[in-house]
Amino acid sequence: MKIELQKTLTAGLLLATCLAVPVLAGENPGKTAKAARPHPAPTVEPGPPLSLNVRLVNLQKNVSGGVASVSMEARASVDLEEVTLTADLPGGVIFADGSQSKTWTFNLPAGATNSIPVDLLVSSDGKYNISLRAAGTHSGGPVRRGLAYRLLVGVEEKLPAPRDGAIEYPGVPGGGM
């Protein structure tokens, strides 16, 4: 009995030693050859060096039309020089100074956002598309960006009817037909 116990303990010690050597060496003996391959680095999608945004800050509704306070924002992910931001308004909408087009020029360091608050006078209720475009330079090369913002005054955007429990938006107005 003593000899059998000694053989069992020796076999157990030998088995534990064989299993412990790869683990102590930093290997995982349970990994397959496929899983042991190094994983490629994650793919990072590039972002635009300049992005534009328009936010409606406040809307003072009048009997017909109103005053819309908006913030026009330009954000840079790289250092941009002499960024020219131009806003064009449609008929029926003017800036507080009476113009329909305004231009601002500024430098925009990487990671910075330039917010320009403006008041828009809207003559009547409706949907209005505000056009915003920016152009600047980075390392001597041009950087351009554009944006159209829909301003709703006294009206609501009509949602498409749900079909099979989901709202379907056409990819092209009118379905592209």
* 26 has pLDDT over 60: no
The larger pLDDT score, comparing residue 151 to residue 28, is at 151
Predicted local distance difference test score (pLDDT) of residue 99: 95
Contacts of residue 113, Cβ cutoff 8 Å, sequence gap at least 6: 73, 74, 75, 76
Structural domains of the chain ordered from first start: 50-156 (2.60.40.10)
The label of the residue with tokens 């113009």 reads 99
What's the predicted TM-score (pTM) here?
A: 0.65
Condensed to tens digits (0 to 9), the pLDDT of residues 97-142 reads 999 999 999 999 989 999 999 999 999 999 999 999 999 999 888 9
Q: Would you say 157 and 128 are in contact if contact means Cβ atoms under 8 Å apart? A: no
Q: Is residue 22 predicted with pLDDT exceeding 60?
A: no
For residue 76, what pLDDT is reported?
92
pLDDT range class, residue 13, cuts 50, 70, 90: low
How many Å apart are CA 147 and CA 153, to the nearest integer?
Answer: 19
